[in-house]
C-alpha cells in the first residue's frame, strides 16, 4: 500500500476569502484555527451558511433552534475575527443540489469577490469510514460549481440585473475535511485556542450532541484533527484542505 504523500502549504498570496458551508458549527469543526490566523494577519474572511441549522437539536423545535443556532454561529465567528455571517435560508436537512443553490452561492461570491473560497467535504464519506450528510455533499459540490458560475455572465444573468456583476477572481476552492487533502495550514497554539473557544460558542448544540464535558470534548476533537493532519505536515498541528485551483 502506498503511503500518503506530505501536504503542501496552502497558498498565502490572497486577501479575501469566502467560506460557504451547510450548517452552523461546520466551520468550527472544520477549519476555524486557520481562519483565526488569517484574520489575525489582516486577511478578510466572510461566512455564508446555506441553513440556520434548525433541524440539528432533537429537543428543540426548528422555530426555536434556528435563532439559537444563528446566535451561536455569529458568536463563534466573532471569536476568530469574522464579522460578516450570512444565511441563505435553505431548509436544514433537505438542502438540494441544483441551480437554485448554485445561484445563491454564485450571488454570494459576486457580492464578496473572494480570491479563495472555502467549503466542507463534498465526498460521500468521511475518510471512507462514516457516511457524510446530504447537506454537506450538496453545498460542497454546489460551491465548487458556483466558483465558476460566478464568473460567467450568461449563467444566472438575473444576478447582473440585480447589480451583481460577474466575478472571475476566484483562484482556488479549498475543501476542509476532505478525505484526500493536498494542502495544509499550520495551526499555531493561539490559532488552536481560538478554534476551541469558537466551537465552544455552539454550547447548546454540543450539549445536545454529547454527554461529555463540552470543553474536554471540543479540545480533544480539535487536537486530534489537527494532530492527524500534522503527521503529513512536518509534525506540526495543522488544518488540512483539498485544494482545487481555478
User: Which grid cell sits at 126?
Assistant: 468521511
Q: Is the pLDDT of residue 186 over 50?
A: yes
Rounded Cα gap, residues 122 and 7, in angstroms: 19
**Nearest CA to 34 among 221, 216, 194, 197?**
194
How many beta carbons lie within 10 A of that of residue 118, not counting itself? 25
For the packed helices 62-79 and 189-200, what is the interaxial angle rounded to 10 degrees? 160
Burial class of residue 246, CB neighbours in 10 A (0-12, 13-18, 19+) = middle
**Model confidence pLDDT, tens digit, residues 199-218:** 999 999 999 999 999 999 99
C-alpha gyration radius of the chain:
17
Are 222 and 189 spatial neighbours (Cβ–Cβ below 8 Å)? no
Q: At 50, give phi and psi (nearest 5°).
A: -70, -35
- Backbone φ and ψ for 196, nearest 5 degrees, come out as -60, -50
DSSP 168: -
pLDDT at 3 over 80: no
What are the structural domain ranges in the chain?
Answer: 8-245
* pLDDT tens-digit readout, 138-175: 999 999 999 999 999 999 999 999 999 999 999 999 99
Tell me the C-alpha distance between 194 and 75, whole Å. 12
Nearest to 139 by CA among 168, 188, 177: 177
Residue 88 per-residue DSSP state = -
Task: Please give the pLDDT value at position 5.
Answer: 75
Alpha-carbon span 97 to 103, nearest angstrom: 11
Could you say which architecture CATH assigns to the domain 8-245? 3-Layer(aba) Sandwich (3.40)
Let me know: does 22 contact 135? Beta carbons within 8 Å.
Answer: yes
Encode pLDDT of 100-147 as tens digits.
999 999 999 999 999 999 999 999 999 888 999 999 999 999 999 999
State the distance between the two ends of the chain, measured CA to CA, in whole angstroms. 31
Q: How far apart are CA 67 and CA 197, in angstroms?
A: 20
* pLDDT tens sequence across 53-110: 999 999 999 999 999 999 999 999 999 999 999 999 999 999 999 999 999 999 999 9
Q: Which three cell numbers stand for residue 54?
A: 434548525
Mean of pLDDT values over 21-33: 95
Cell 509534525 sits at which residue? Answer: 235
C-alpha cell at 246: 481555478
The pLDDT, as a whole number, for residue 127 is 85
Amino acid at each position: 500500500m502506498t503511503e500518503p504523500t506530505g501536504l503542501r502549504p496552502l497558498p498565502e498570496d490572497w486577501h479575501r476569502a469566502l467560506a460557504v458551508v451547510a450548517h452552523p458549527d461546520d466551520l468550527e469543526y472544520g477549519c476555524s484555527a486557520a481562519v483565526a490566523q488569517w484574520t489575525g494577519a489582516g486577511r478578510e474572511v466572510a461566512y455564508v451558511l446555506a441553513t440556520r441549522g434548525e433541524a440539528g437539536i432533537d429537543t428543540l423545535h426548528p422555530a426555536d433552534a434556528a435563532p439559537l443556532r444563528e446566535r451561536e454561529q455569529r458568536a463563534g465567528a466573532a471569536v476568530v475575527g469574522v464579522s460578516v455571517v450570512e444565511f441563505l435560508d435553505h431548509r436544514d436537512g433537505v438542502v438540494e443540489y441544483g441551480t437554485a443553490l448554485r445561484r445563491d452561492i454564485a450571488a454570494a461570491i459576486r457580492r464578496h469577490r473572494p480570491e479563495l473560497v472555502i467549503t466542507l467535504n463534498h465526498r460521500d464519506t468521511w475518510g471512507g469510514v462514516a457516511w457524510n450528510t446530504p447537506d454537506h455533499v450538496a453545498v460542497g459540490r454546489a460551491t465548487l460549481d458556483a466558483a465558476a458560475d460566478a464568473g460567467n455572465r450568461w449563467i444566472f444573468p438575473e444576478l447582473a440585473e440585480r447589480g451583481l456583476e460577474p466575478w472571475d477572481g476566484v483562484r482556488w476552492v479549498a475543501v476542509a475535511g476532505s478525505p484526500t487533502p493536498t494542502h495544509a495550514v499550520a495551526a499555531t497554539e493561539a490559532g488552536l485556542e481560538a478554534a476551541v473557544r469558537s466551537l465552544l460558542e455552539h454550547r447548546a448544540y454540543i450539549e445536545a450532541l454529547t454527554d461529555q464535558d463540552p470543553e474536554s470534548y471540543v479540545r480533544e476533537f480539535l487536537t486530534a484533527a489537527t494532530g492527524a493532519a500534522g503527521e503529513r505536515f512536518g509534525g506540526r498541528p495543522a488544518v488540512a484542505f483539498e485544494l482545487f485551483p481555478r
